[in-house]
Structure 1
Amino acid sequence: MPQSTLETVNELIAGSFGGAAQVLVGQPLDTIKTRSQIAPKGMFKGPMDILTQTMRKEGILALYKGMASPLLGIAGVNSLLFAAYGISKRIISPFGQLSLKEIAAAGAMAGAANAILASPVEMFKVRMQGQYGNPSDKRLRVVAREMWAEWGFRKGVMRGYWVTMAREIPAYAGFYTAFEYSKRKFARKYGPDLPVWALLASGSTGGIAYWLSSYPLDVVKSRIQLRTTPPRGTPVQYIASELKAVVAESGVAGLFRGLTPCLIRSIPAAGSTFAAFELTREYLRSFTGV
């Protein structure tokens, strides 16, 4: 097997481990974040109220509502992401260490590729998290079947694809740039074989940069994916229209609703993602020699 192909296979495998770690660690705060974005106005007073009401009315397992979609899909999503990032780095420069600008470009390219799988995973997750413990709540398979039957692949399963891509491009440019910057700083002090806590810290820094780079677009994505009907017009038109609608309803602050639990979530979730990826990648490197 060619070396570049084996590298990509290793990145696919390591990415799946990183993705599973991300979902298991971060899902409860992701549920709070999504409900902050999509809940009817006045339903909750803030993130803590979402947490207490959800646990009181629906039980603690409701914080993991919608987890099946990302847990089933995240292996593919993160495998694609890390593999696309590795390929993008090799395309940009096959020689030596990339500059941070080149890292940002590779991250943006990986984010664009990642949107292909991230969009349906996010759509089903949001629609599950948008159910509040009523008797009429639906299981994931019912939601998936209805979306396909009523709207088909493009307007149903892939709803929100263009806004997901618009989110992923700056998000992963910021994500990988912050991660690599932090990792290089630690490497100067501790050498190339970083301790696990340094990988966790670097991943957490990347996770914070991810959301600060893209959060308003995440709000728009969640609202579009939860709507009963698909958006109309071109992607630029409906994204701009949704941004205006959020500002009209809640002011500029509405574009950042749910950001606090999201940032808190990003610290353990992104940290565990990269730690799991790097440790798995190092193991595979020692096993395969690539």
Structure 2
Amino acid sequence: MDESQTNQNPKSGYKQSIPLYMKAISGSFGGVMEACCLQPIDVIKTRLQLDTKGNYKGIIHCGATVSHTEGVRALWKGMTPFATHLTFKYALRMGSNAVLQSAFKDSTTGSLSNQGRVLAGFGAGVLEALLIVTPFEVVKIRLQQQKGLSPELFKYKGPIHCARTIIHEEGIFGLWAGAAPTVMRNGTNQAAMFTAKNAFDVILWKKHEGDQKVLQPWQSMISGFLAGTAGPVCTGPFDVVKTRLMAQSRDGGELKYKGMIHAIQTIHAEEGLQALWKGLLPRLMRIPPGQAIMWAVADQIIGLYERRYIYSAAL
């Protein structure tokens, strides 16, 4: 469902936009559902991206190793910051994208061009990267990289303790390690995702903005899944670099990676070009299904609101 959508009853001429808070709420609920279902894949992705010695042979081996050596619950490490950050991220993403789409609409016709849709998505991705994603993912990744069966021996005891420790040891900006590649990754991802979701809704289901048609959950899932596939392939290097920068701390001396460009050069020199796409398969296992789940929930919440408070009022 397109975020710039307005609803109009052709008989009454009644026209009303979906409130921004409803778009934010729909995204939040979708994010919670996504986090609960797909956290293990995110843990595996992080472990693969941090594996510089080839300890894990692939996705299945990594998951089995983590479960065997650390317990099944280890696959949900970092769940609290992950679910919290998804909740706030999707609320900010859906709301800011709607605001930006409104700003990019043609003042005469009220239509939104493809260029405006791309720019709105990119802007929403940049905002979520700076305000939500980066600090939450720093905490999540620090928690996920801890190994062992004895939590009392872990450096970080939980998300709050982790954040406090990072601030104490590295300063407040330690929570924004890897901000540059995160901005590039999320901006590009959301530009592609919002544009593709709208395109697939039109191509597959003849769903146009403002046509009062509410997609079935399975239709939203297919559109969301397809829309979520392009980003991970294009932004793989940014995601690997982001993870490496977020995982390193100063307690061991000098930082290995000095920044985004230096990290890309170092990884390429030491591990080869393919290392910049480490964790791509688990990303493809997580992001497209995640978008499918999120859009299925979000579209239904928006659809319920439309039917109860907009369409019925227009009749």
Deviation at 1:249, TM superposition (A): 2.0
Residue in 2 aligned with 1:160? 178
Q: Note closer, same or farther for the CA distance 1:276–1:189 as it changes in structure 2 (3 Å cut).
A: closer
Q: Pairwise mapping of residues 96-245 of structure 1 onto structure 2 (< 5 A)?
A: 96-115=110-129, 116-135=131-150, 136-137=153-154, 138-140=156-158, 141-154=160-173, 156-188=174-206, 192-229=213-250, 238-245=259-266
Match of 1:263 among 267, 284, 293: 284
Match of 1:89 among 101, 111, 135: 101
Deviation at 1:245, TM superposition (A): 1.1
Q: Note closer, same or farther for the CA distance 1:204–1:97 as it changes in structure 2 (3 Å cut).
A: farther
For residues 214-254 of structure 1, give each alpha carbon's deviation from its aligned partner in whole angstroms, at most 9, with x where no partner exists. 11101000000000139x99x9x721100011111221100
Task: With the length of structure 2 as denominator, give the TM-score of the two structures.
Answer: 0.83
Match of 1:73 among 85, 92, 96: 85
CA distance in 2, matches of 1:148, 1:284: 42
Deviation at 1:134, TM superposition (A): 5.0
CA distance in 2, matches of 1:7, 1:189: 20
> For the pair shown, which has the larger CA radius of gyration, 1 or 2?
2
SS in 2 for 1:289: helix
Aligned residues: percent identity?
Answer: 28
| Letter of the 1:176 counterpart | F
Mapped contact 1:11–1:82 kept (Cα < 8 A): yes
Task: With the length of structure 1 as denominator, give the TM-score of the two structures.
Answer: 0.90
Segment drifting more, 275-284 vs 253-262: 275-284
Deviation at 1:14, TM superposition (A): 1.1
CA distance in 2, matches of 1:16, 1:288: 20
Mapped contact 2:217–2:297 kept (Cα < 8 A): no
| Letter of the 2:166 counterpart | M
CA distance in 1, matches of 2:30, 2:207: 25
Segment drifting more, 81-90 vs 265-274: 265-274
Residue in 2 aligned with 1:14? 26
CA distance in 2, matches of 1:189, 1:74: 27
Q: Pairwise mapping of residues 50-69 of structure 1 onto structure 2 (< 5 A)?
A: 50-69=62-81
Q: Which runs of 5+ in 2 are unaligned?
A: 1-15
CA distance in 1, matches of 2:23, 2:194: 15
CA distance in 2, matches of 1:198, 1:99: 24
CA distance in 1, matches of 2:193, 2:22: 21
